[in-house]
Structure 1
Amino acid sequence: MKRYFIELAYKGTHYFGWQRQPGKISVQQSLEESMGTILGAELEITGCGRTDTGVHAKQYFAHFDYEGEFPAEFLRRLNKFLPKDIAVFRIFEVQLDVHARFNAYQRSYEYHLSFRKDPFVEHLAYFYPYTQQPDPVLMQAAAELLLQYQEFAPFCKSNHDAKTMICNLTRSEWVFYPEEQRAVFHITSNRFLRGMVRLIVGMCLGVGTGQISMEEVKAAMEEQSRLRKATSAPPEGLYLGGILYKTGDEN
């Protein structure tokens, strides 16, 4: 038996996230069924983490165990068989004890925000439709504030199974593109809590529009309590952007 890593990307619009769910289509199910059909074997593929309904992944890793041989042009055949919104870039062998989820030491997410309606990026960015535009200076200040903390209970969904709220953030910043009327939030950490990035984006927008004060954010972080106006940004703007592993096999 050998263990293999899969590097892939997907547009999550039509999926109920990565993980299999009864009666709902998922990326995991689509990949397992497509690979199983070509290989003539039932596979169980383990992903590097969950993504919610409608969330995308520019880079995603998963692993599976398989003892057979791959047919000729397997990768090309697999991509032809898969739906158009899932692409597999490569499949490579790793040591049997390397785990797609537990061996990852750094994850990066992006959140794409558009202040101009654009039908060509529908489902690929969140169109901010409100008249009052958020202040980019305040949004940036709110994002940078989070780098001072290690516990993030205010930005964790209530239905979580996390044993700790500690996350080691190394990046939290907005990049603005005024000419294109859009912005991208970048955040990097060793781990993320359930719903964390979308709640942070919602907070930044709240601060940028004056609905939430910086003092309220600071108090919530100091007390590890919920914000008075906790808002989760829509899923279509969120992308898993990249993952790094201790083994170095992802490079």
Structure 2
Amino acid sequence: MNSFKRYFLELSYKGTPFHGWQIQGNAFTVQECIESALSTYFRKPVTIMGSGRTDTGVHASMQVCHFDMEEEFDKEKFLRAINGILPKEIAVSAIRPVKPDAHARFDAESRSYVYRIIFQKNPFLDEIAWLSYFTPNVEKMNFAAEALLKHEDFECFSKVHTEVTHFRCKIKSAHWEQKDGELLFHITANRFLRGMVRAIVGTLMEIGLGKREPEEMEEIILSKNRAKAGKSAPARGLFLSRIIYPNQIYLD
């Protein structure tokens, strides 16, 4: 029986050049890139499991994945080397030993996303924020966002034909914040459906711009119909920002 040690990698990436997180046969993905770098460093095939998928063009200021390794290795040397192998769009910030049964996806207690909106053209933010030429009513959007905390079935915000057994999510917080000339949407839940956050942002922006009334948010959620919700916000403004795990899974 082979003995192995499991490690969590904490990383960030700019999703612009990638076709999402999950490895695909004919597209360049974040997972493929990391597995290739790990396999180069350890000189043998290495596979990883991420905390969850991000779609094409979506970023992560914090993502977590795990991998197994039998051999001992110097973690500080590993961090320097792996960042040298990875492209400039991906950075590994930490490696932490965890219990052998710890799982990056299934042990996550909560996940958080941030969506960035700017109101002036900015060449430095073009790929990481949604440019809106109209200023929405933030008070109305925050009022509508409160409805998200009262429900658990969010089929209305899910991409259709996804491989899920249910559409239930427990949203712990959801609010808009104005900061340094930007508008930020913060949302935290135990899990998210594919396309969910971008659909929520798009719907709330329609409310903020007066195309819908805040009270419609409740009706949209209860309809369980994606066609009733608003158009999805562009991928470039979305960041996976935080993942929380129970402390007892860590060995350091």
- The TM-score normalised by the length of structure 2 is 0.93
Question: 2:56 matched to which residue of 1?
Answer: 53
Cα offset for 1:213?
2.2
Residues 182-201 of structure 1: pairs in structure 2 closer than 5 A = 182-201=182-201
Q: CA deviation at 1:19?
A: 0.9
In structure 2, C-alpha distance between the alignment counterparts of 1:67 and 1:214, rounded to whole Å:
55
Distance 1:76 1:33 in 2: 16
Match status 1:113 vs 2:113: no
Residue matched to 1:10: 13
Structure 2 counterpart of 1:228, one-letter code:
K
Alpha-carbon distance change, 106 to 229 in structure 1, aligned in 2, over 3 angstroms: closer
* Contact 2:99–2:249, Cα closer than 8 Å, also in 1: no
Give the SS at the match of 1:73: helix
Please point out which of 169, 172, 176 is paired with 1:174.
176
Contact 1:212 1:229 in 2 (8 A): no
Deviation, structure 1 residue 144: 1.8
What residue is the counterpart of 1:231 in the other structure?
Answer: 231
Q: Amino acid of the residue matched to residue 84 of structure 1?
A: K
Separation in 2 of the partners of 1:215 and 1:244? 32
- Deviations for 1:158-200, whole angstroms, at most 9, x for unmatched residues? 02112121111111000013xx432000000011111100000
- Counterparts of 1:27-42 in structure 2, within 5 Å, are 27-42=30-45
SS in 1 for 2:71: coil
1:216-227, aligned counterparts within 5 Å? 216-227=216-227
- Deviation of 1:229 after TM superposition, in Å, equals 5.2
Q: Distance in 2 between matches of 1:145 and 1:114?
A: 25
Partner SS state of residue 124, structure 2: helix
Q: Is the 8 A contact 1:216 1:227 kept in 2?
A: no
Amino acid corresponding to residue 72 of structure 2 in structure 1: E
Q: CA RMSD in A?
A: 1.7
- Return the match for 2:160 from 137, 158, 161: 158
What code does the residue aligned with 2:63 have?
A: Y
Aligned partner (choices 87, 90, 95) of residue 91 of structure 1: 95
2:141–2:214 contact (8 Å) kept in structure 1: no
Letter in 2 for 1:201: V
**Structure 2: unaligned runs, 5 residues or longer:** none
2:207 paired residue number: 207
Note the C-alpha offset of 1:227. 4.8
Relative to structure 1, the CA distance from residue 216 to residue 122 in structure 2 (aligned partners, 3 Å threshold; closer, same or farther) is same
Q: Which ranges of structure 1 fall in alignment gaps of 5 or more residues?
A: none
Deviations 1:6-43 (A, max 9, x none): 11111111111111111211111111111111111100
Name whichever of 77-86 and 224-233 sits farther off. Answer: 224-233
- List 4+ stretches of structure 1 deviating above 3 A: 226-229, 247-251
Q: How far apart, in 1, do the equivalents of 2:73 and 2:19 lie? A: 29
CA separation in 1, counterparts of 2:207 and 2:34? 40
Aligned length: 247
Q: Which residue of the other structure, out of 134, 137, 146, is the alignment partner of 1:135?
A: 137
> Contact between 1:104 and 1:243, CA under 8 Å: does it hold in 2?
yes
After superposition, where does 1:68-107 map in structure 2 within 5 Å? Answer: 68-70=71-73, 73-107=77-111
Please report the TM-score for the alignment, with normalisation by the length of structure 1.
Answer: 0.93
Code of the residue aligned with 1:200 in structure 2: it is I
- Aligned to 1:137, the other structure's residue is in SS state helix
The alignment-based identity, stated in percent, is 42
Which amino acid letter does the alignment assign opposite residue 28 of structure 2?
Answer: I
* Aligned residue in 2 for 1:245: 245
Which whole-Å CA distance do the structure 2 matches of 1:229 and 1:156 have between them?
10
